[in-house]
Structure 1
Protein backbone atom coordinates (compact mmCIF):
# COMPACT_ATOMS: atom_id res chain seq x y z
CA UNK A 1 0.00 0.00 0.00
CA UNK A 2 1.57 3.25 -1.17
CA UNK A 3 1.68 6.40 0.92
CA UNK A 4 2.42 10.00 0.04
CA UNK A 5 3.77 12.55 2.49
CA UNK A 6 2.35 15.79 1.12
CA UNK A 7 2.98 19.45 1.87
CA UNK A 8 0.22 21.95 1.11
CA UNK A 9 1.03 25.67 1.03
CA UNK A 10 -2.00 27.95 1.32
CA UNK A 11 -2.01 31.55 0.06
CA UNK A 12 -2.69 34.04 2.83
CA UNK A 13 -6.29 34.77 1.78
CA UNK A 14 -7.20 31.05 1.99
CA UNK A 15 -5.72 30.49 5.43
CA UNK A 16 -8.02 29.46 8.26
CA UNK A 17 -7.90 32.20 10.93
CA UNK A 18 -6.21 29.83 13.40
CA UNK A 19 -3.59 28.86 10.82
CA UNK A 20 -3.05 32.57 10.24
CA UNK A 21 -2.42 32.93 13.99
CA UNK A 22 0.47 30.47 13.66
CA UNK A 23 1.96 32.70 10.94
CA UNK A 24 1.49 35.98 12.74
CA UNK A 25 2.15 35.11 16.39
CA UNK A 26 4.93 33.42 18.36
CA UNK A 27 2.38 32.35 20.98
CA UNK A 28 1.57 29.01 19.32
CA UNK A 29 4.46 26.58 18.81
CA UNK A 30 2.52 23.66 17.36
CA UNK A 31 -1.00 23.04 16.06
CA UNK A 32 -1.74 19.46 14.96
CA UNK A 33 -5.04 18.02 13.79
CA UNK A 34 -5.17 14.56 15.39
CA UNK A 35 -8.63 13.35 14.41
CA UNK A 36 -11.70 14.64 12.62
CA UNK A 37 -15.24 13.69 11.73
CA UNK A 38 -16.59 15.08 8.46
CA UNK A 39 -20.18 14.05 7.74
CA UNK A 40 -22.85 15.01 5.22
CA UNK A 41 -23.87 17.97 7.33
CA UNK A 42 -22.57 21.53 7.63
CA UNK A 43 -20.58 21.07 10.87
CA UNK A 44 -17.35 19.13 11.40
CA UNK A 45 -15.74 17.97 14.65
CA UNK A 46 -11.97 17.98 15.22
CA UNK A 47 -9.45 17.13 17.93
CA UNK A 48 -6.27 19.24 17.89
CA UNK A 49 -3.05 19.06 19.86
CA UNK A 50 -1.74 22.53 20.67
CA UNK A 51 1.53 23.68 22.21
CA UNK A 52 1.92 27.27 23.34
CA UNK A 53 -0.05 30.04 25.02
CA UNK A 54 -3.51 28.52 25.24
CA UNK A 55 -5.12 31.84 26.21
CA UNK A 56 -4.02 33.41 22.92
CA UNK A 57 -5.23 30.33 21.06
CA UNK A 58 -8.66 30.25 22.71
CA UNK A 59 -9.12 34.00 22.22
CA UNK A 60 -8.53 33.39 18.52
CA UNK A 61 -11.09 30.57 18.53
CA UNK A 62 -13.71 32.82 20.09
CA UNK A 63 -13.12 35.39 17.36
CA UNK A 64 -13.91 32.92 14.56
CA UNK A 65 -17.65 32.99 13.92
CA UNK A 66 -17.89 29.54 12.33
CA UNK A 67 -16.31 27.80 15.33
CA UNK A 68 -19.43 26.89 17.26
CA UNK A 69 -18.01 25.25 20.40
CA UNK A 70 -14.71 24.09 21.84
CA UNK A 71 -13.32 22.39 24.92
CA UNK A 72 -9.71 22.53 26.18
CA UNK A 73 -7.95 19.81 28.17
CA UNK A 74 -4.48 20.50 29.55
CA UNK A 75 -1.92 17.67 29.16
CA UNK A 76 1.22 19.20 30.65
CA UNK A 77 2.81 22.63 31.13
CA UNK A 78 2.61 23.60 27.45
CA UNK A 79 0.46 20.95 25.73
CA UNK A 80 -3.33 20.89 25.31
CA UNK A 81 -6.07 18.99 23.52
CA UNK A 82 -8.65 21.22 21.85
CA UNK A 83 -11.93 19.54 20.88
CA UNK A 84 -14.00 21.76 18.62
CA UNK A 85 -16.94 21.91 16.25
CA UNK A 86 -16.98 24.31 13.32
CA UNK A 87 -19.17 25.14 10.35
CA UNK A 88 -17.66 24.05 7.05
CA UNK A 89 -17.01 26.74 4.44
CA UNK A 90 -16.27 26.72 0.70
CA UNK A 91 -12.51 26.42 1.26
CA UNK A 92 -13.04 23.35 3.44
CA UNK A 93 -15.23 21.83 0.74
CA UNK A 94 -12.59 22.47 -1.93
CA UNK A 95 -9.85 21.12 0.32
CA UNK A 96 -11.47 17.99 1.77
CA UNK A 97 -13.67 17.07 -1.18
CA UNK A 98 -10.92 15.63 -3.42
CA UNK A 99 -9.57 13.56 -0.50
CA UNK A 100 -12.95 12.01 0.30
CA UNK A 101 -13.06 9.33 -2.36
CA UNK A 102 -12.93 5.58 -2.76
CA UNK A 103 -9.35 4.32 -2.67
CA UNK A 104 -7.90 7.18 -0.57
CA UNK A 105 -7.41 7.52 3.20
CA UNK A 106 -6.00 10.59 4.95
CA UNK A 107 -3.91 9.37 7.87
CA UNK A 108 -3.75 11.82 10.79
CA UNK A 109 -2.11 13.87 12.10
CA UNK A 110 -2.17 16.95 9.89
CA UNK A 111 0.56 19.30 11.08
CA UNK A 112 -0.11 23.02 10.57
CA UNK A 113 3.09 25.06 10.31
CA UNK A 114 4.13 28.66 9.66
CA UNK A 115 4.16 30.14 6.15
CA UNK A 116 0.75 28.65 5.36
CA UNK A 117 2.04 25.06 5.32
CA UNK A 118 0.12 21.93 6.25
CA UNK A 119 1.68 18.46 6.09
CA UNK A 120 -0.27 15.23 5.90
CA UNK A 121 -0.02 11.59 4.88
CA UNK A 122 -2.31 10.00 2.29
CA UNK A 123 -2.51 6.29 1.50
CA UNK A 124 -4.27 4.49 -1.31
CA UNK A 125 -3.94 3.11 -4.81
CA UNK A 126 -2.07 4.98 -7.49
CA UNK A 127 -4.97 6.15 -9.65
CA UNK A 128 -7.07 7.46 -6.76
CA UNK A 129 -4.08 9.22 -5.20
CA UNK A 130 -3.23 10.93 -8.50
CA UNK A 131 -6.83 12.04 -8.99
CA UNK A 132 -7.06 13.40 -5.44
CA UNK A 133 -3.92 15.51 -5.84
CA UNK A 134 -4.96 16.72 -9.29
CA UNK A 135 -8.32 17.97 -7.98
CA UNK A 136 -6.95 20.03 -5.09
CA UNK A 137 -7.44 23.77 -5.67
CA UNK A 138 -4.80 25.21 -8.02
CA UNK A 139 -4.02 28.06 -5.62
CA UNK A 140 -2.94 25.57 -2.95
CA UNK A 141 0.64 24.66 -3.85
CA UNK A 142 1.08 20.89 -3.49
CA UNK A 143 4.46 19.20 -3.01
CA UNK A 144 4.98 15.45 -2.58
CA UNK A 145 7.75 15.11 0.01
CA UNK A 146 7.98 11.32 0.18
CA UNK A 147 6.54 8.23 -1.52
CA UNK A 148 6.82 4.77 -0.01
CA UNK A 149 5.18 1.63 1.27
CA UNK A 150 2.91 2.45 4.20
CA UNK A 151 3.68 0.91 7.60
CA UNK A 152 1.30 1.90 10.41
CA UNK A 153 4.04 1.31 12.99
CA UNK A 154 5.85 4.44 11.85
CA UNK A 155 3.04 6.50 13.43
CA UNK A 156 3.53 4.99 16.90
CA UNK A 157 6.65 7.07 17.50
CA UNK A 158 6.83 10.59 16.12
CA UNK A 159 9.49 12.87 17.63
CA UNK A 160 8.50 15.73 15.32
CA UNK A 161 11.81 16.03 13.47
CA UNK A 162 12.25 18.67 10.81
CA UNK A 163 12.94 17.37 7.30
CA UNK A 164 16.64 18.27 7.57
CA UNK A 165 16.94 16.55 10.95
CA UNK A 166 15.30 13.44 9.50
CA UNK A 167 17.64 13.51 6.50
CA UNK A 168 20.67 13.82 8.79
CA UNK A 169 19.59 10.87 10.95
CA UNK A 170 18.78 8.76 7.88
CA UNK A 171 22.18 9.53 6.39
CA UNK A 172 23.89 8.76 9.70
CA UNK A 173 22.20 5.37 9.95
CA UNK A 174 22.94 4.51 6.31
CA UNK A 175 26.65 5.33 6.53
CA UNK A 176 27.24 3.61 9.87
CA UNK A 177 27.57 6.63 12.14
CA UNK A 178 25.60 4.87 14.89
CA UNK A 179 27.32 1.50 14.59
CA UNK A 180 29.58 0.24 17.36
CA UNK A 181 32.39 0.77 16.73
CA UNK A 182 31.44 3.85 14.72
CA UNK A 183 31.95 3.31 10.99
CA UNK A 184 31.49 6.92 9.82
CA UNK A 185 32.10 10.48 10.96
CA UNK A 186 30.04 13.65 11.08
CA UNK A 187 31.91 14.69 7.94
CA UNK A 188 30.53 11.61 6.17
CA UNK A 189 27.01 12.56 7.23
CA UNK A 190 27.58 16.14 6.09
CA UNK A 191 28.70 14.95 2.64
CA UNK A 192 25.52 12.89 2.23
CA UNK A 193 23.17 15.75 3.08
CA UNK A 194 25.25 18.46 1.36
CA UNK A 195 25.88 20.47 4.53
CA UNK A 196 28.85 21.63 6.55
CA UNK A 197 30.05 19.34 9.37
CA UNK A 198 28.93 21.86 11.98
CA UNK A 199 25.44 22.03 10.48
CA UNK A 200 25.20 18.24 10.22
CA UNK A 201 26.32 17.93 13.83
CA UNK A 202 23.68 20.43 14.95
CA UNK A 203 20.95 18.54 13.05
CA UNK A 204 22.00 15.27 14.69
CA UNK A 205 22.15 16.77 18.20
CA UNK A 206 18.70 18.33 17.90
CA UNK A 207 17.24 15.17 16.36
CA UNK A 208 18.72 12.98 19.09
CA UNK A 209 17.37 15.31 21.80
CA UNK A 210 13.89 15.28 20.23
CA UNK A 211 13.89 11.49 19.85
CA UNK A 212 15.01 10.84 23.41
CA UNK A 213 12.42 13.26 24.80
CA UNK A 214 9.67 11.69 22.68
CA UNK A 215 10.76 8.21 23.76
CA UNK A 216 10.58 9.15 27.44
CA UNK A 217 7.14 10.71 26.92
CA UNK A 218 6.00 7.49 25.25
CA UNK A 219 7.32 5.40 28.15
CA UNK A 220 5.51 7.62 30.64
CA UNK A 221 2.22 7.00 28.81
CA UNK A 222 2.64 3.24 28.62
Structure 2
Protein backbone atom coordinates (compact mmCIF):
# COMPACT_ATOMS: atom_id res chain seq x y z
CA UNK A 1 0.00 0.00 0.00
CA UNK A 2 1.43 3.35 -1.07
CA UNK A 3 1.74 6.39 1.15
CA UNK A 4 2.36 10.03 0.35
CA UNK A 5 3.94 12.52 2.69
CA UNK A 6 2.30 15.78 1.64
CA UNK A 7 2.85 19.44 2.27
CA UNK A 8 -0.24 21.56 1.62
CA UNK A 9 -0.04 25.35 1.57
CA UNK A 10 -3.30 27.21 2.18
CA UNK A 11 -4.20 30.81 1.28
CA UNK A 12 -5.12 33.06 4.24
CA UNK A 13 -8.88 32.71 3.70
CA UNK A 14 -8.68 28.91 4.08
CA UNK A 15 -6.58 28.86 7.26
CA UNK A 16 -8.45 28.08 10.47
CA UNK A 17 -8.18 30.98 12.98
CA UNK A 18 -6.42 28.70 15.49
CA UNK A 19 -3.75 27.70 12.99
CA UNK A 20 -3.09 31.35 12.16
CA UNK A 21 -1.67 31.70 15.65
CA UNK A 22 1.50 29.94 14.50
CA UNK A 23 2.03 32.90 12.16
CA UNK A 24 0.50 35.71 14.17
CA UNK A 25 1.86 35.01 17.65
CA UNK A 26 5.38 34.17 18.80
CA UNK A 27 3.71 32.62 21.85
CA UNK A 28 2.69 29.47 19.93
CA UNK A 29 5.43 27.14 18.67
CA UNK A 30 3.55 24.03 17.51
CA UNK A 31 -0.03 23.18 16.61
CA UNK A 32 -0.43 19.49 15.77
CA UNK A 33 -3.68 17.58 15.12
CA UNK A 34 -3.22 14.15 16.72
CA UNK A 35 -6.67 12.60 16.31
CA UNK A 36 -10.09 13.54 15.00
CA UNK A 37 -13.65 12.23 14.94
CA UNK A 38 -15.76 13.19 11.92
CA UNK A 39 -18.82 10.99 12.45
CA UNK A 40 -21.22 13.80 13.32
CA UNK A 41 -22.65 15.60 10.29
CA UNK A 42 -22.50 19.04 11.90
CA UNK A 43 -19.57 18.99 14.35
CA UNK A 44 -16.09 17.49 14.66
CA UNK A 45 -14.05 16.53 17.73
CA UNK A 46 -10.26 16.85 17.72
CA UNK A 47 -7.25 16.28 19.94
CA UNK A 48 -4.37 18.71 19.41
CA UNK A 49 -0.87 18.92 20.79
CA UNK A 50 0.11 22.54 21.42
CA UNK A 51 3.44 24.03 22.44
CA UNK A 52 3.66 27.58 23.76
CA UNK A 53 1.78 30.02 25.96
CA UNK A 54 -1.46 28.19 26.61
CA UNK A 55 -3.20 31.34 27.87
CA UNK A 56 -2.79 32.91 24.44
CA UNK A 57 -4.13 29.74 22.83
CA UNK A 58 -7.14 29.55 25.17
CA UNK A 59 -8.01 33.21 24.53
CA UNK A 60 -8.00 32.45 20.81
CA UNK A 61 -10.21 29.37 21.32
CA UNK A 62 -12.77 31.47 23.15
CA UNK A 63 -12.80 33.99 20.30
CA UNK A 64 -13.75 31.40 17.64
CA UNK A 65 -17.55 31.22 17.57
CA UNK A 66 -17.82 27.73 16.10
CA UNK A 67 -15.73 26.09 18.83
CA UNK A 68 -18.41 24.70 21.12
CA UNK A 69 -16.29 23.39 23.99
CA UNK A 70 -12.70 22.54 24.83
CA UNK A 71 -10.55 21.02 27.57
CA UNK A 72 -6.83 21.65 28.17
CA UNK A 73 -4.48 19.13 29.79
CA UNK A 74 -0.96 20.14 30.72
CA UNK A 75 1.89 17.75 29.78
CA UNK A 76 4.96 19.74 30.86
CA UNK A 77 6.20 23.34 31.01
CA UNK A 78 5.36 24.16 27.40
CA UNK A 79 3.30 21.23 26.03
CA UNK A 80 -0.47 20.71 26.27
CA UNK A 81 -3.24 18.54 24.91
CA UNK A 82 -6.30 20.44 23.71
CA UNK A 83 -9.51 18.41 23.28
CA UNK A 84 -12.19 20.38 21.43
CA UNK A 85 -15.46 20.14 19.54
CA UNK A 86 -16.31 22.60 16.79
CA UNK A 87 -19.08 23.20 14.31
CA UNK A 88 -18.11 22.16 10.80
CA UNK A 89 -18.16 24.80 8.08
CA UNK A 90 -17.08 25.41 4.50
CA UNK A 91 -13.46 26.13 5.41
CA UNK A 92 -13.07 22.58 6.73
CA UNK A 93 -14.42 21.12 3.50
CA UNK A 94 -12.14 23.34 1.42
CA UNK A 95 -9.07 22.37 3.48
CA UNK A 96 -9.52 18.60 3.56
CA UNK A 97 -12.68 17.75 1.61
CA UNK A 98 -10.80 16.20 -1.32
CA UNK A 99 -9.02 13.80 1.08
CA UNK A 100 -12.28 12.46 2.52
CA UNK A 101 -12.99 9.80 -0.06
CA UNK A 102 -13.27 6.05 -0.45
CA UNK A 103 -9.92 4.36 -1.00
CA UNK A 104 -7.62 6.64 1.00
CA UNK A 105 -6.90 7.30 4.67
CA UNK A 106 -5.34 10.38 6.24
CA UNK A 107 -2.90 9.16 8.89
CA UNK A 108 -2.39 11.59 11.78
CA UNK A 109 -0.68 13.65 12.96
CA UNK A 110 -1.27 16.73 10.83
CA UNK A 111 1.38 19.32 11.63
CA UNK A 112 0.23 22.92 11.09
CA UNK A 113 3.22 25.16 10.40
CA UNK A 114 3.83 28.84 9.61
CA UNK A 115 2.78 30.39 6.29
CA UNK A 116 -0.37 28.29 5.97
CA UNK A 117 1.51 24.98 5.67
CA UNK A 118 0.10 21.62 6.81
CA UNK A 119 2.14 18.40 6.61
CA UNK A 120 0.35 15.07 6.64
CA UNK A 121 0.52 11.46 5.50
CA UNK A 122 -2.08 9.93 3.16
CA UNK A 123 -2.20 6.26 2.20
CA UNK A 124 -4.20 4.19 -0.23
CA UNK A 125 -4.26 2.88 -3.76
CA UNK A 126 -2.64 4.78 -6.61
CA UNK A 127 -5.92 5.77 -8.30
CA UNK A 128 -7.69 7.32 -5.28
CA UNK A 129 -4.48 9.08 -4.20
CA UNK A 130 -4.09 10.62 -7.65
CA UNK A 131 -7.75 11.66 -7.70
CA UNK A 132 -7.50 13.23 -4.23
CA UNK A 133 -4.55 15.39 -5.26
CA UNK A 134 -6.23 16.38 -8.51
CA UNK A 135 -9.39 17.40 -6.60
CA UNK A 136 -7.58 19.87 -4.35
CA UNK A 137 -8.80 23.43 -4.99
CA UNK A 138 -6.51 25.51 -7.20
CA UNK A 139 -5.90 27.88 -4.30
CA UNK A 140 -4.18 25.10 -2.32
CA UNK A 141 -0.60 24.38 -3.34
CA UNK A 142 0.59 20.80 -2.84
CA UNK A 143 4.00 19.17 -2.80
CA UNK A 144 4.74 15.46 -2.42
CA UNK A 145 7.65 15.26 0.02
CA UNK A 146 7.97 11.49 0.00
CA UNK A 147 6.32 8.42 -1.51
CA UNK A 148 6.76 4.76 -0.64
CA UNK A 149 5.29 1.55 0.70
CA UNK A 150 3.46 2.16 3.97
CA UNK A 151 4.70 0.46 7.13
CA UNK A 152 3.07 1.72 10.34
CA UNK A 153 6.13 0.64 12.35
CA UNK A 154 8.22 3.19 10.48
CA UNK A 155 5.95 5.99 11.61
CA UNK A 156 6.56 5.17 15.26
CA UNK A 157 9.96 6.74 14.64
CA UNK A 158 10.52 8.31 11.24
CA UNK A 159 13.52 10.65 10.96
CA UNK A 160 12.85 11.24 7.26
CA UNK A 161 15.96 9.58 5.83
CA UNK A 162 16.54 9.55 2.10
CA UNK A 163 16.74 6.14 0.42
CA UNK A 164 20.53 6.39 0.17
CA UNK A 165 20.88 7.39 3.81
CA UNK A 166 18.71 4.46 4.84
CA UNK A 167 20.75 2.07 2.66
CA UNK A 168 23.98 3.35 4.23
CA UNK A 169 22.68 2.88 7.78
CA UNK A 170 21.31 -0.59 6.97
CA UNK A 171 24.65 -1.61 5.46
CA UNK A 172 26.51 -0.20 8.46
CA UNK A 173 24.38 -2.20 10.89
CA UNK A 174 24.71 -5.39 8.85
CA UNK A 175 28.50 -5.25 8.60
CA UNK A 176 29.11 -4.31 12.23
CA UNK A 177 30.03 -0.65 11.83
CA UNK A 178 28.04 0.27 14.94
CA UNK A 179 29.26 -2.61 17.11
CA UNK A 180 31.52 -1.92 20.07
CA UNK A 181 34.34 -2.38 19.35
CA UNK A 182 33.66 -1.43 15.73
CA UNK A 183 33.80 -4.48 13.44
CA UNK A 184 33.74 -2.70 10.07
CA UNK A 185 35.02 0.49 8.46
CA UNK A 186 33.39 3.20 6.37
CA UNK A 187 35.10 1.65 3.35
CA UNK A 188 33.22 -1.61 3.93
CA UNK A 189 29.94 0.31 4.19
CA UNK A 190 30.84 2.10 0.96
CA UNK A 191 31.49 -1.20 -0.83
CA UNK A 192 28.11 -2.53 0.21
CA UNK A 193 26.20 0.46 -1.18
CA UNK A 194 28.41 1.02 -4.23
CA UNK A 195 29.69 4.45 -3.19
CA UNK A 196 32.99 6.10 -2.37
CA UNK A 197 34.08 6.15 1.29
CA UNK A 198 33.59 9.92 1.45
CA UNK A 199 30.04 9.63 0.08
CA UNK A 200 29.20 6.76 2.44
CA UNK A 201 30.58 8.77 5.37
CA UNK A 202 28.43 11.77 4.38
CA UNK A 203 25.31 9.59 4.15
CA UNK A 204 26.01 8.17 7.62
CA UNK A 205 26.66 11.59 9.19
CA UNK A 206 23.46 13.09 7.77
CA UNK A 207 21.43 10.00 8.74
CA UNK A 208 22.81 10.02 12.28
CA UNK A 209 22.07 13.74 12.64
CA UNK A 210 18.49 13.26 11.39
CA UNK A 211 17.90 10.29 13.70
CA UNK A 212 19.24 12.01 16.80
CA UNK A 213 17.22 15.16 16.15
CA UNK A 214 14.08 13.08 15.57
CA UNK A 215 14.74 11.17 18.78
CA UNK A 216 15.11 14.36 20.78
CA UNK A 217 11.82 15.65 19.38
CA UNK A 218 10.17 12.46 20.63
CA UNK A 219 11.72 13.04 24.05
CA UNK A 220 10.47 16.63 24.04
CA UNK A 221 6.91 15.48 23.36
CA UNK A 222 7.08 12.58 25.83
**TM-score tier (shorter):** 0.7 to 0.9
Distance in 1 (alpha carbons) for counterparts of 2:164 and 2:84: 40
Q: Which residue of 1 aligns with 2:34?
A: 34
| Unmatched runs of 5 consecutive residues or more in structure 2 | 179-183, 191-195
Equivalent residue runs for 1:70-81 within 5 Å: 70-81=70-81
| Unmatched runs of 5 consecutive residues or more in structure 1 | 193-199
Shift, 1:156, TM fit: 1.6
Shift, 1:2, TM fit: 0.5
Secondary structure, aligned partner of 1:22: helix
Distance in 2 (alpha carbons) for counterparts of 1:145 and 1:173: 16
Calculate the TM-score normalised by the size of structure 1: 0.79
C-alpha contact (below 8 Å) 1:33/1:49 kept by paired residues: yes
Query: Bigger shift: 94-103 or 5-14?
Result: 94-103
Q: Which residue of 2 aligns with 1:207?
A: 210
C-alpha contact (below 8 Å) 2:8/2:118 kept by paired residues: yes
Distance in 2 (alpha carbons) for counterparts of 1:190 and 1:64: 51
Shift, 1:171, TM fit: 5.1
Distance in 1 (alpha carbons) for counterparts of 2:75 and 2:117: 25
Distance in 2 (alpha carbons) for counterparts of 1:129 and 1:153: 21
Residues 39-79 of structure 1 deviation map (CA, whole Å, 9 limit, x = unaligned) = 25211100001111111111111111111111001112211
Calculate the TM-score normalised by the size of structure 2: 0.79
Shift, 1:23, TM fit: 1.0
C-alpha contact (below 8 Å) 1:105/1:124 kept by paired residues: yes
Radius of gyration: which is bigger? 2
Distance in 2 (alpha carbons) for counterparts of 1:190 and 1:132: 40
C-alpha RMSD of matched pairs (Å): 2.9
Secondary structure, aligned partner of 1:152: coil
Q: Which residue of 1 aligns with 2:24?
A: 24
Aligned length: 204
The reply on whether 1:7 has 2:10 as its aligned counterpart is: no
The reply on whether 1:122 has 2:125 as its aligned counterpart is: no
C-alpha contact (below 8 Å) 1:175/1:188 kept by paired residues: no
Distance in 1 (alpha carbons) for counterparts of 2:83 and 2:54: 13
Residues 52-107 of structure 1 deviation map (CA, whole Å, 9 limit, x = unaligned) = 11111111111111111110011122111100011111121123322121111111
The reply on whether 1:104 has 2:115 as its aligned counterpart is: no
Cα distance change on mapping 1:189 and 1:30 into 2, 3 Å: farther
Secondary structure, aligned partner of 2:137: coil
Distance in 1 (alpha carbons) for counterparts of 2:65 and 2:56: 16
Shift, 1:125, TM fit: 0.7
